[in-house]
């Protein structure tokens, strides 16, 4: 399987142009096939999402790499460097994305609303020795307030609007990445939580000078959010509590 994983990483780099050495190294180090049912392992390293049951999928390899890259603010960190403290993932699924995030964060908190998937992912992650990943059964729309604030938040299912609670649990200066929009095709969107200043130093080292119309805000009008879009991706919809 290692040779297939190496080929998958080459494809992410050559076909899609994602060349972050740290992200690609993390993808290479996590055995993707161990996060899916045995009957699906043969297709795990193909350039496509993998069904994991209950109407859910493990995201396409490039999507996992891209979301990880965006969450880090386009900076190389984690592998062989100082890790960030905490990340919250909404939508554990198979547990694979959480395993990748564990290479960059000291603590990974991940929530899954489908009990069977939460239990399976928790068991898989524990069996593979991911001691810094913590799985919770529940609705991601409320986040995981007890463990907040987070350096970063990742939403791995399509949403029409990011719940305000997730922005509230994000640190000032932190990044939230989510596929946003109507229908199955979503726009990959990165939000940076800003202080209420006219200029702001972003995680990628750039200085942002705010202008009218350049930010979007959650319903409570604070804090400001710098919003960036990174193309269209296909996602299963966000599952809400009681649905």
Compute how many other C-beta atoms are within 10 angstroms of the C-beta atom of residue 16. 14
What is the DSSP track for 113-135?
Answer: SSHHHHHHHHHHHHHTT-TTEEE
Cα–Cα distances in Å, from 119 out to 5, 36, 37, 243? Answer: 26, 13, 14, 19
d(CA 242, CA 202): 38
Say if residues 153 and 176 touch (Cβ distance below 8 Å): yes
What are all long-range contacts of 12-15, with beta carbons under 8 Å and residues at least 24 apart?
12/61, 12/62, 12/65, 15/47, 15/62
Catalytic residue among 20, 21, 25, 59, which?
Answer: 59
Q: Are strands 215-216 and 170-180 parallel, antiparallel or unpaired?
A: unpaired
Instruction: Give me 189's structure tokens.
Output: 């969107």
Compute how many other C-beta atoms are within 10 angstroms of the C-beta atom of residue 94. 27
Q: What's the distance, Cα to Cα, between the start and end of the chain in Å?
A: 37
d(CA 113, CA 105): 23
Active site residue 59: yes
d(CA 165, CA 106): 22
What are the residue numbers of the active site? 59
């Amino acid at each position: 399987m290692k040779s297939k994983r190496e080929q998958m990483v080459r494809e992410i780099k050559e076909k899609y142009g994602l060349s972050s050495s740290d992200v690609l190294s993390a993808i290479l180090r996590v055995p993707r096939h161990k996060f899916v049912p045995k009957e699906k392992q043969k297709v795990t390293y193909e350039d496509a999402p993998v069904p994991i049951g209950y109407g859910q999928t493990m995201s396409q390899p490039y999507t996992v790499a891209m979301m990880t890259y965006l969450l880090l603010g386009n900076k190389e960190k984690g592998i062989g460097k100082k890790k960030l403290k905490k990340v919250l993932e909404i939508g554990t699924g198979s547990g694979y994305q959480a395993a990748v995030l564990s290479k960059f964060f000291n603590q990974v908190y991940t929530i899954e609303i489908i009990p069977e998937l939460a239990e399976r992912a928790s068991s898989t992650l524990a069996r593979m020795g991911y001691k810094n990943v913590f799985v919770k059964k529940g609705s991601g729309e409320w986040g995981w307030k007890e463990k907040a604030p987070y350096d970063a938040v990742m939403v791995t299912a399509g949403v029409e609007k990011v719940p305000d609670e997730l922005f509230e649990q994000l640190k000032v200066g932190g990044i939230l990445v989510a596929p946003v929009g109507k229908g199955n095709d979503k726009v990959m969107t990165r939000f940076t939580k800003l202080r209420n200043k006219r200029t702001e130093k972003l995680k990628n080292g750039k200085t942002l000078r705010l202008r009218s119309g350049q930010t979007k805000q959650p319903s409570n009008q604070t804090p400001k959010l710098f919003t960036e879009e990174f193309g269209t991706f296909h996602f299963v919809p966000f599952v809400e509590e009681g649905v």
